[in-house]
């Protein structure tokens, strides 16, 4: 039987081998047939899809932010390198760290053959994305051999896709990916498991592709379990469609879990399986207050998505996530969210406008990336407006705590606002000079008055300390001991001259102006 099968296979091989080739067949054709065959167009070769790895460029940047606690100088410069994805029209999408406080940005071909200067068009620190373009239009041929990518549909749990990267900037590498889960380190992020180990730099802005389109961008890679962390196409599209650095919504209220059964009974939540989160604070200047939310409400659903008894929602794209994540990421700034509440045990529906009023109108505001901090060095006393970045810098220096004079500053915003303050001013540093003798322990106190006049914001403070007084003394009132300090205007001027010559050339920056005093 085996021998018979062998003979059949051999006979088939001989038959194939004796089949006329195309050239032999042409020779046996009649002249008319030969002429007709010669006139036929050759079959067009099948076009191959462009390799998505060919969309990659390198993004190199020098980053140098200001020193918040010594605002007249900058920190030591650092450098960042990441991948960028070419989108066409001279636009490159990359990880936001390349643009954060960047003083110089360049694009490089992955093989290192060419570099060009770039500039940042848009940077969103919440989404961790940046959009770059060329600094000089004459460098447009830099992208001549790059393949632009279009953004596709968002990935969902269980979907498959393909990683596209490069080894040593030259050799394309691809690997299958499966979306396994999602988490929320601020904004939602997908976790994709790779079918094999990925190369170095896999988590540095490489494209994840499906059907030839960009469906995610890598932001991290854990080699031990081959897990790729990615920003989904949903958030990428949102970022690209923004007209400016809109940021993410700031809803203007805070929530706590409802685990205590006694507390649940007090709130008239009788069902032990009923979910929700307790509204323990509503910012008076935020969207929640505008929508009519009140402290003591219980948030039970977001856009009809119920909150379970662990404080989580099932996001239609990412699956189970903390409900607070949906508030910031479900829709962009400019849209609205429908919230379901319980108030005194009765259901209430409100429409929440998605804006950033809670942050922009806060007395303790956020600084923009790379923003120059405002300050006044006055006779050896350093005054600054209180910002999120300032408080964070203090906490980092003091093992995550604030001095007693600043403790609770964020919780007491309502009180300060009722006093008419638009901004808080702090005495943050005391440099020993002839003008500051005896005031070494006065730092980290809030300034309330200058010469008996209320201080409502930093610009007003700058004007008040320059106003002449009949006796040449300037009094500054503080919220804690020593409560009142007095400085001679003449001693201040002498100390200013000394400080300017020896240490700090620019003694003040109030904002928007380049004055030097």
Q: How far apart are CA 193 and CA 159, in angstroms?
A: 11
Q: Report pLDDT for 25.
A: 37
Question: Which residue, among 51, 247, 245, 271, has the nearest Cα to 163 in the 3D structure?
Answer: 51
Residues forming a β-bridge with 449: 454, 477
The partner residues of 227 in beta bridges, in order of sequence, read 193, 222
Q: What share of the chain has pLDDT > 90, as a percent?
A: 69
Average pLDDT over residues 409-423: 87
Contacts of 340 by beta carbon, 8 Å cutoff, 6+ apart: 299, 300, 301, 302, 304, 347, 348, 349
pLDDT at 49: 58
| Residue 516, SS3 per DSSP | coil
Check residue 4 and give its pLDDT: 36
In three state form, how does the secondary structure of 213-274 look?
A: EEEEEEEEEECCCCEEEEEEHHHHHHHHHCCCCCCCCCCCEEEEECCCHHHHHHCCCCCCCC
Q: What is the C-alpha separation between 390 and 437, in angstroms, rounded?
A: 26
- For the cut 90, the answer to whether the pLDDT of residue 434 exceeds it is yes
Query: How is residue 351 written in tokens?
Result: 């429409």
* DSSP result, 451-502: TTEEP-SHHHHHHHTTS--TTSEEEEEESSTT-EEEEEHHHHHHHHHHHHHH
Q: Is it the case that residue 120 has pLDDT exceeding 50?
A: yes
Q: Which two tokens stand for residue 58?
A: 């390198």
Residue 113 has pLDDT above 50, yes or no: yes
Q: How far apart are CA 467 and CA 427, in angstroms?
A: 19
pLDDT average, residue stretch 272-283: 90
pLDDT, residue 186, reads 82
- Is the CB of residue 375 less than 8 Å from the CB of residue 71? yes
Q: What is the mean pLDDT of the chain?
A: 87
Give me the residues paired with residue 396 across strands: none
Q: Give the model's confidence band at 512: pLDDT under 50 very low, under 70 low, under 90 confident, else very high.
A: low
Pick 186 or 422 by higher pLDDT. Answer: 422
Q: What is the mean pLDDT of residues 481-490?
A: 94
Neighbours of 30 (CB within 10 A): 8
What would the pLDDT profile of 19-78 be if each residue is shown by its tens digit?
333 333 343 444 444 334 334 444 444 444 579 999 999 999 999 999 999 999 999 999
Contact call for residues 362 and 356 (beta carbons, < 8 A): no
Q: Judging by beta carbons within 10 Å of its beta carbon (0-12, 13-18, 19+), is residue 135 exposed, middle or buried? A: middle
Cα distance between residue 386 and residue 365, in whole Å: 8
Which of the four pLDDT bands, split at 50, 70 and 90, describes residue 197?
Answer: very high
Query: What is the spatial distance between Cα 88 and Cα 18, in angstroms, rounded to a whole number?
Result: 53
Give pTM, 2 decimals.
Answer: 0.83
The pairing of beta strand 298-302 with beta strand 453-454: unpaired
Residue 322 has pLDDT above 80, yes or no: yes
Confidence of residue 267 (pLDDT cuts 50, 70, 90): confident
Residue-level pLDDT at 412: 84
357-386 tens-digit pLDDT = 988 888 998 898 889 999 999 999 999 999
pLDDT at position 514 over 60: no
**pLDDT the model gives residue 261:** 86
- Residue 328 has phi, psi (to 5 degrees) of -95, -20
pLDDT at 477 over 90: yes
At 6, the pLDDT band (50, 70, 90 cuts) reads: very low
Which 3 state secondary structure label does DSSP give 194? Answer: strand
Unique residue bearing structure tokens 């196409």: 233
Cα–Cα dist 179/189, whole Å: 11
Predicted confidence (pLDDT) at residue 400 exceeds the cutoff of 80: no
Dump pLDDT digits (tens) for 217-229: 999 999 999 999 9
Chain-centre distance of CA 447, in angstroms? 33
pLDDT band for position 450 (cuts 50, 70, 90):
very high
* Mean pLDDT computed over 281-293: 92
Output the pLDDT for position 40: 42
Q: Mean per-residue pLDDT for 435-441? A: 91
pLDDT of residue 154: 96
pLDDT score recorded for residue 9: 31
The predicted-structure confidence for 244-253, as pLDDT tens digits, reads as follows 777 889 999 9
Dihedral over Cα of 270, 274, 275, 276: its sign = negative
Rounded to whole angstroms, how far apart are CA atoms 212 and 51? 9
pLDDT at 471 (0 to 100): 94
- Per DSSP bridges, beta strands 56-63 and 171-183 are unpaired
Of 126-135, 318-327, 398-407, the poorest mean pLDDT is in 398-407
Q: Say what the pLDDT of residue 105 is.
A: 97
| Model confidence band, residue 7 (pLDDT cutoffs 50, 70, 90) | very low
Long-range contacts of 117-120 (CB under 8 A, 24+ apart): 118/59, 118/92
pLDDT band at 136 (very low <50, low <70, confident <90, very high): very high
Q: Report, as an integer, the average pLDDT of 434-461.
A: 94
């Amino acid at each position: 039987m085996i021998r018979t099968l062998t003979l059949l296979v051999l006979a088939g091989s001989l038959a194939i081998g004796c089949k006329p080739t195309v050239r032999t067949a042409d020779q046996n054709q009649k002249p008319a047939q030969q002429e007709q065959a010669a006139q036929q167009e050759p079959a067009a070769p099948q076009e191959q899809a462009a390799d998505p790895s060919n969309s990659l460029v390198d993004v190199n940047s020098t980053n140098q932010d200001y020193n918040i606690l010594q605002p007249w100088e900058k920190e030591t410069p650092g450098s960042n390198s990441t991948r960028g994805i070419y989108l066409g029209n001279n636009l490159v999408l990359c990880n936001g760290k390349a643009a954060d406080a960047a003083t110089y940005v360049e694009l490089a071909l992955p093989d290192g053959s060419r570099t060009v200067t770039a500039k940042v068009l848009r940077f969103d620190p919440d989404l961790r994305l940046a959009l770059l373009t060329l600094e000089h239009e004459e460098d447009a041929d830099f992208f001549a051999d790059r393949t632009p990518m279009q953004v596709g549909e968002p990935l969902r749990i269980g979907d498959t896709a393909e990683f596209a990267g490069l080894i040593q900037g030259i050799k394309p590498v691809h690997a299958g990916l499966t979306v396994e889960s999602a988490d929320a380190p601020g904004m939602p992020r997908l976790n994709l498991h790779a079918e094999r180990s990925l190369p170095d730099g896999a988590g540095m802005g490489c494209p994840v592709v499906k059907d030839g389109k960009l469906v995610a961008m890598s932001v991290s890679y854990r080699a031990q379990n081959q897990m790729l962390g990615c920003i989904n196409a949903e958030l990428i599209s949102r970022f690209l469609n923004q007209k400016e650095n809109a940021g993410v919504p700031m809803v203007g209220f805070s929530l706590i879990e409802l685990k205590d059964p006694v507390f649940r009974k007090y709130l008239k939540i009788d069902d032990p399986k009923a979910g929700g989160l307790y509204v323990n604070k509503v910012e008076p200047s935020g969207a929640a207050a505008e929508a009519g939310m009140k402290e003591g409400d219980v948030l039970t659903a977001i856009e009809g998505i119920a909150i379970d008894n662990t404080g989580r929602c099932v996001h239609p794209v990412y699956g189970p996530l903390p409900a607070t994540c949906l508030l910031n990421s479900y829709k962009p700034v400019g849209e609205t969210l429908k919230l379901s509440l319980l108030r005194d045990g009765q259901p209430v529906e409100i429409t929440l406008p998605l804006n950033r009023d809670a942050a922009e109108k806060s007395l303790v505001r956020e600084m923009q990336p790379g923003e120059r901090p405002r300050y006044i060095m006055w006779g050896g006393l350093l005054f600054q407006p209180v910002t999120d970045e300032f408080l964070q810098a203090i906490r980092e220096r003091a093992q995550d705590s604030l001095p007693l004079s600043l403790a609770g500053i964020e919780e007491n915003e309502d009180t300060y606002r009722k006093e008419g303050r638009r901004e808080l001013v702090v005495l943050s540093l005391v440099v020993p000079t002839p003008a500051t003798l005896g005031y070494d322990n006065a730092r980290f106190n809030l300034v309330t008055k200058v010469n008996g006049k209320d201080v409502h914001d930093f610009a007003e403070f700058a004007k008040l300390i320059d106003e002449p007084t009949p006796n040449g003394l300037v009094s500054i009132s503080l919220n804690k001991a020593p409560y009142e300090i007095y400085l001679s205007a003449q001693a201040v001027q002498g100390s200013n001259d000394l400080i300017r010559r020896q240490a700090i050339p620019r003694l003040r920056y109030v904002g928007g102006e380049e004055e030097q005093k």
